[in-house]
Structure 1
Amino acid sequence: MMKQQMSGEAESVLEVRDLSVAYGKVEALHSANVRVGVGQIVTVIGPNGAGKTTMLSAIMGQLAGSGEVSFVGQSQAGVSVEGRVNRGMSLVPERRELFASMTVEDNLLMGAYARYRQGLRNHQETMTEVFQRFPRLKERRNQFAGTLSGGERAMLVLGRALMAKPKVLLLDEPSLGLAPLIVKEIFHIISDLRRSGVAILLVEQNARAALQVSDFGYVLETGTIVFEGPSADLIHDQRVAETYLGAAARSLQ
């Protein structure tokens, strides 16, 4: 197994130690160790059924597991999903679930609900920032979410998550089912989010695109991390390239 440490390590936002999850007698995730630093994009790649979504769900507290999840230096043991959201963790699931009969603007406002409950009233300022990042959402602010295209829905779920002003954003397969041009746009947006200071843990099957925008990567197979290292090294590693990047990887060598 290739083991490398993050060079010039940034201050840790999210640290996962020995995280394991089992469905009955079947272990879906085994002793996973993942670290995300401030302003970093870290990706987890791997095939279907590798345990990627399970990892994100366990980090958010949606699934019970063993091991430790530490967020901004504090253990999340016993902290509910809502509590983790309030502290600054945000998950964008692959299903892109939206309130179809509500407008784009109202869907975005739902993303700021936790902050509103905490007494924060700067959601309009945050929405302006989201519209600057996603001009297409501004154009469709009064349109029902259920009428949006697949790419617009992907932008809306990202924008809604950003309304919560997260310190770390967990993205589950953001490119799933999207046309190649839209995938390129979504990954450009993800890369650009680094400027806002939010840390990102990106789970993806599109390994090449994920490694190209990330700082550090982990390769997950059947619940176990089998490779890890700086993304620039992984994308040129022969074993990773042959298994996950295919013929397209050879043009990157």
Structure 2
Amino acid sequence: MSALLEVTDISVSHGKVLAVQGVCLQVKPGAIATVIGPNGAGKTTLLNALMGLLPCSGGMRLEGRDITGDGVEERVEQGLCLVAEKRELFGEMSVADNLLLGAYSRRRVRDGSREEDLGDVYDRFPRLRERRNQLAGTLSGGERQMLAIARALMARPKLLMLDEPSLGLAPLIVREVFAIVRSLRDAGVSILIVEQNARAALQVADHGYVLEAGSIVMEGPAADLAADRRLIETYLGFGGKPGETPEAAARAGTTVQ
């Protein structure tokens, strides 16, 4: 199966500091890929470069088309969408208005598809329907993350990129958010997740990459990485054992159902 996204030798510098070096990765159509690694490894920098928010060297192709020289707006129009680590919601606007802004790239379309997509989003996120007239700034952390993902879906992305979707959320809400991510994959949405929560990310992903000091040091099927002794000791922490059951993982940390 050919890659939906193909990234080749991406490097990003912050002044004289090389934050990301020679990263190559792929995301298959209808699959979830994850990039895990410690804080400061360059994960967010990598996503920002892929979105066109930071200058970089290397190459990037989406559905076989070279988008390396495209700007942010062009990448959005081509089907890339990033849910930033800080959600970047408009707190003084309602939930419904935030969602409609997600379809801004389709603002000239007058076929009623935006209203149809809004209904689909409310069906997927019933809590947002209940709070559609509420100001986004008054939502809980989990609700804000749901709104950020839902707003991105309004752009009809070919590839949804999520930066630390579990950040600052309680374990129960983390499980709920990752269950939503899995359901999106089952509905055919391709997803690239950057995460510090290695356990949760590998449980939902099809393929994983480990980023350390700006470079990919390991990659492979997510299930294989989750069973790797070095990875367990470094990232999965207390209780991690090769082949442990979901029940054991739940006792040790966050488990996605």
What TM-score does the superposition give when structure 1 sets the normalisation length? 0.94
SS of the aligned residue for 2:91 comes to coil
Q: What residue ranges of structure 2 are gaps of 5+ in the alignment?
A: 245-257
Report what 1:40 is aligned to. 31
Q: Which of residues 21, 37, 50 in structure 2 aligns to 1:30?
A: 21
Q: Deviations over 1:117-160 (max 9, x none)?
A: 35564111101111111110011011111110011000000000
Aligned: 1:93 with 2:115: no
Report what 1:67 is aligned to. 58
Task: Give yes or no for contact 2:227–2:242 (8 Å, CA) kept in 1.
Answer: no
Task: Give yes or no for contact 2:90–2:137 (8 Å, CA) kept in 1.
Answer: yes
Report what 2:43 is aligned to. 52
Q: Which of residues 103, 111, 125 in structure 2 aligns to 1:134?
A: 125
SS of the aligned residue for 1:248 comes to coil
Letter in 1 for 2:233: E
Task: Give yes or no for contact 2:178–2:200 (8 Å, CA) kept in 1.
Answer: yes
Report what 1:169 is aligned to. 160
Q: Distance in 2 between matches of 1:77 and 1:220?
A: 21
Q: Deviations over 1:89-139 (max 9, x none)?
A: 000000011111111111000001101235564111101111111110011
Distance 1:223 1:246, change over 3 A: same
Letter in 2 for 1:35: Q
Q: Deviations over 1:43-81 (max 9, x none)?
A: 000000000001101111111111001111111122110
State the Cα distance separating 1:12 from its structure 2 match: 1.2
State the Cα distance separating 1:196 from its structure 2 match: 2.2
SS of the aligned residue for 2:45 comes to helix
Q: Which of residues 131, 134, 139 in structure 2 aligns to 1:143?
A: 134
Letter in 1 for 2:125: F
Q: Distance in 1 between matches of 2:34 and 2:92?
A: 33
Task: Give yes or no for contact 1:208–1:249 (8 Å, CA) kept in 2.
Answer: no
Task: Give yes or no for contact 2:229–2:242 (8 Å, CA) kept in 1.
Answer: no
Report what 1:204 is aligned to. 195
Letter in 1 for 2:13: A
Aligned: 1:243 with 2:228: no
Q: How many residues align?
A: 244
Aligned: 1:214 with 2:184: no
CA RMSD of aligned residues (A): 1.1
State the Cα distance separating 1:252 from its structure 2 match: 4.2
Task: Give yes or no for contact 1:92–1:172 (8 Å, CA) kept in 2.
Answer: yes
Report what 2:249 is aligned to. none
In the TM superposition, 1:147-162 aligns within 5 A as 147-162=138-153
- Higher RCO structure (Cα 8 Å, ≥6 apart): 1
Task: Give yes or no for contact 1:172–1:204 (8 Å, CA) kept in 2.
Answer: yes
Q: Distance in 2 between matches of 1:52 and 1:248?
A: 25
Report what 2:72 is aligned to. 81
Letter in 1 for 2:16: K
Q: What residue ranges of structure 1 are gaps of 5+ in the alignment?
A: 1-9
- Identity %, equivalent residues: 59
Moved more, 10-19 or 243-252: 243-252
Over 4 Å off, 4+ runs: none
